[in-house]
A and B are shown apart, each in its own frame.
Chain A
Amino acid sequence: MLTRNTFIQASMVGAFLLLAGNAQAQCRSFAKNKCVPGLAPYKFNETFNSAQLAPGEEAEVNLTFYSGQDYRVMVCAHPILGEVNWKLVDSNNKIVFESLADEPKPNFDLKVATTMQMKLVVWVPTQGKNEMVHVGCVAIMVGFME
């Protein structure tokens, strides 16, 4: 009996990993086809941060911006989620840039006087109580000018 339970548990874990991996692969494919072109003429920095998010959920990442470089920062969400909110804050949590769902901005082009880290926070607006929960890919992309 113990063996059977162990087998069932292992199968469930395996199935979960398979589904999670497949969702990530779909997210990468979405980002590659729909988001990377939006970085042009900047070169994608190869660091791909993405998540499957639902309304009310958020993700954050610390980004390092080097002086002398030009950057484009972009948050790319699957249309099923609608527009998402995102902001870039400095080390004192001061908002440097913000794009809100009701007034979205496609990207943020910047350069920094001295090398610094900023935190990008993205969150999906909540929906009405009776609406279905849609989970969708949200990708945080950074491009730099070589």
Chain B
Amino acid sequence: MRTFSWHLLIAVALLSACGSGTQPTDELNVVNTEDSVLQADRLKRTRNIFYSIPSPMETAALLQKAGATYNSKILNDVKKVDTYTTASEQALNLGVYGADLSYASVFNHTQESMFYTSCSKKLADRLGVISAFNDSTLELMEKNMGDRDALLDVISETYWNVDAYLKENGRDNISALMIAGGWMEGLYIATQVSLTNDSPELRQRIAEQKLSLVDLIALISSYELDDPALSTVMADLKALETLFADVPVGGGSTTVTQENGVALIGGDSKPSSINDEQLAAIREKAAAVRNSYIN
């Protein structure tokens, strides 16, 4: 009962800072025109290209499946949240705390999940992303403290809301920094866990981050790099890319077979792997970069 009241107190305290946003409707934006010039112009447009970076939740779930353990000591200190004063620091650390939140939640450490939710909310509020953590978010988390799956759903939706809010309000560079911060924290956690909980499966997941690193670099490159924070992040990612250069991943031709209604895509490449030297170098670099973001 005491624990519940304490959680409720946190929720109420955080909710008091919440604002309300206008909910988008489910209507469609439709342009009706018979102007053939406009139509021809649209048809000539270049294709839309997106970059898909694994979310912190997906990365944490992969780590758990790879046999990783939970270690709260490697996560960012919640007390540091008030030291992030610039928008770029807040965006990067919103990503970092978001990854810590996913890691704690996937491994069912709900008490710590609440702390990291609190940090994430503070930073989101300071970035003006008020509507993403709506009034019911913390209440829902409180209500679902004992239901891991429901809790993960709330966290997932909140992450989606924050990212979407930033993009919908022309703040893509802040969104990119948040994604980069989250990705870096995920790599940091995986490489730190490998110090005490090394396994071929975990090494494989670390090696595979080479693929999402390439996508993340492409995502950051799609923005104007006159933003100093983005150009710093880009330099960090490029340095990591060099360390990943000789790590073998994916590629090759594929075959498709059916197995109980699910397509099984086979490839002719071997599972990714990473040797001791490569792992040590990536671990060291990830720690240095991540520490430069949180300190």
Instruction: Indicate which residue in B26, B48, B65, B249 contacts A30 across the interface (CB closer than 8 Å).
Output: B26
Flag if A58 contacts B47 (CB, 8 Å).
Answer: yes
Of A24, A90, A135, A142, the contact of B30 (CB 8 Å cutoff): A135
In the complex, are the beta carbons of B265 and A116 less than 8 A apart? yes
Q: Which residues of B contact A30 (CB under 8 A)?
A: 26, 28
Are B26 and A33 in contact, with the CB atoms below 8 A?
A: yes
A144 with B58: CB separation less than 8 A: yes
B271 in contact with A126 (CB, 8 Å): no
Closest beta carbon of chain A to B242's beta carbon, Å: 20
Q: Is the CB of B24 within 8 A of A108?
A: no
For A81, the closest partner residue in chain B by CB is B28
**Contact A29 to B33, CB < 8 A, known contacts A96-B256, A111-B264, A114-B267:** no
As a 0/1 sequence over residues 249 to 288 of chain B, the CB contacts with chain A under 8 angstroms (1 = contact) are 1111110100001111111011110000000000000000
Say if the beta carbon of B238 comes within 8 Å of chain A.
no
The answer to whether B25 has its CB under 8 Å from any CB of chain A is yes
The residue on A at minimum CB distance from B254 is: A90
Contact between A113 and B262, CB atoms less than 8 A apart: no
Query: Chain A contacts of B153 at CB under 8 A?
Result: 43
User: What is the minimal beta-carbon distance from B205 to any residue of chain A, in angstroms?
Assistant: 8
- Minimal beta-carbon separation of A119 from chain B (angstroms): 10
Instruction: Closest A residue to B27 by CB, please name it.
Output: A26
Contact B264 A126 (CB under 8 A): no
Contact segment of B9-17, B36-44, B120-128, B191-199: B36-44
- A21-B170, A64-B211, A132-B32 are known contacts. Are A56 and B55 too (CB-CB below 8 A)? no
Hey, which chain A residues are within 8 Å of B55, CB to CB?
45-47
| B177 within 8 Å of A (CB atoms) | no
Bound Cα distance A49, B39 (Å): 24
Chain A 125-146 near chain B by CB (<8 Å), digits 1 or 0: 0100110111111001010101
Using an 8 Å CB-CB cutoff, how does the interface string of B169-200 with A read, 1 for contact, 0 for none? Answer: 11000000000000000000000000000000
**Is B208's CB under 8 angstroms from A115's CB?**
yes
Q: Are B31 and A58 in contact (CB under 8 A)?
A: no
Contact, CB under 8 Å: A59 / B48:
yes
Q: Taking the complex as formed, is B73 at the interface, i.e. its CB lies under 8 A from any CB of chain A?
A: no
Contact segment of B84-92, B108-116, B137-145, B159-167: B159-167
Task: Knowing A45-B54, A92-B253 are in contact, say whether A115-B272 is a contact too (CB < 8 A).
Answer: yes
- Select from chain B the residue with minimum beta-carbon distance to A132: B32
CB-nearest residue of chain A to B160 = A46
The residues of A that contact B54 with a CB separation of less than 8 Å are 45, 47, 64
Number of chain B residues whose Cβ lies closer than 8 Å to a Cβ of chain A: 67
Question: Quick check: B261 and A47 within 8 Å, CB to CB?
Answer: no
- Contact partner of B264 (CB less than 8 A), chosen from A34, A48, A68, A110, is A110
User: How distant is the Cα of A29 from the Cα of B38 in the complex, in angstroms?
Assistant: 27
B263 touches A108 (CB 8 A): yes
Q: Given A70-B262, A117-B250 in contact, is the A61-B31 Cβ separation under 8 Å?
A: no
Contacting residues, chain B, for A129 (C-beta < 8 A): 36
Known contacts A53-B48, A114-B271: A66-B27 contact under CB 8 Å:
no
A25 to B168, CA, bound (A): 6
- Among B31, B36, B253, the residue within 8 A (CB) of A94 is B253
Distance in Å: Cβ of B272 to nearest Cβ of chain A: 6
Question: Which of B33, B261, B267 has the most CB atoms of chain A within a 10 A radius of its CB?
Answer: B267
| Beyond known contacts A64-B54, A144-B61: 18 more, CB 8 A cutoff | A21-B168, A28-B168, A45-B54, A46-B57, A54-B39, A57-B42, A59-B47, A62-B52, A62-B215, A96-B256, A111-B264, A112-B264, A112-B266, A114-B272, A115-B271, A133-B31, A135-B29, A144-B58
* A to B CB contacts below 8 Å, 13 in the list: A23-B29, A54-B39, A61-B50, A80-B28, A109-B263, A112-B265, A114-B272, A116-B252, A116-B265, A118-B265, A126-B43, A132-B34, A140-B50
